[in-house]
Amino acid sequence: MNHYGLLGEGLNKLDYRHLQTIVFKNGMAKSVHHARVLIRQRHIRMGRQLVNIPSFMVRLESEKLIDFSLTSPLGGGPAGRVKRKNQKKASGGGGGGDGEDEEE
């Protein structure tokens, strides 16, 4: 496997080449399980390609291409639904009522 670029000289286990393990080792996730969830929810990309398979085998030269997706709120993309709703409420939120106006 060293010849194919999957394993370095010191590593002999293929488990270390799984995408979920590398995402965790790079500090993008709090645990291996969190990394698996991020990958399945399409927050991780390799280069320009979105990857949603946690057991994806990453080659040594491709390891530096792993990053958050451009559309992911974790990677600087647009904010999620709840965050947008809270920002709208905090900034004055025009028209956020249920139609009951007290004029008396």
pLDDT band, very low/low/confident/very high, at 78 (cuts 50, 70, 90): confident
Residue 95 pLDDT more than 60? Answer: no
Domain ranges of the chain: 14-77
**What b/e readout covers 82-91, taking b as 16+ CB neighbours within 10 angstroms?**
eeeeeeeeee
Judged by DSSP in three states, 70 sits in coil
Residue pair 44/66 in contact by the 8 Å Cβ criterion: yes
Q: What is the pLDDT of residue 11?
A: 60
CATH of domain 14-77: 3.10.290.10
For residues 26 and 86, what is the distance between their CA atoms, to the nearest angstrom? 31
pLDDT digits (tens, 9 = 90+) for 30-52: 999 999 999 999 999 999 999 99
Q: What is the pLDDT of residue 50?
A: 94
CB atoms within 10 A of CB 23: 24
67 versus 16: the higher-pLDDT residue is 67
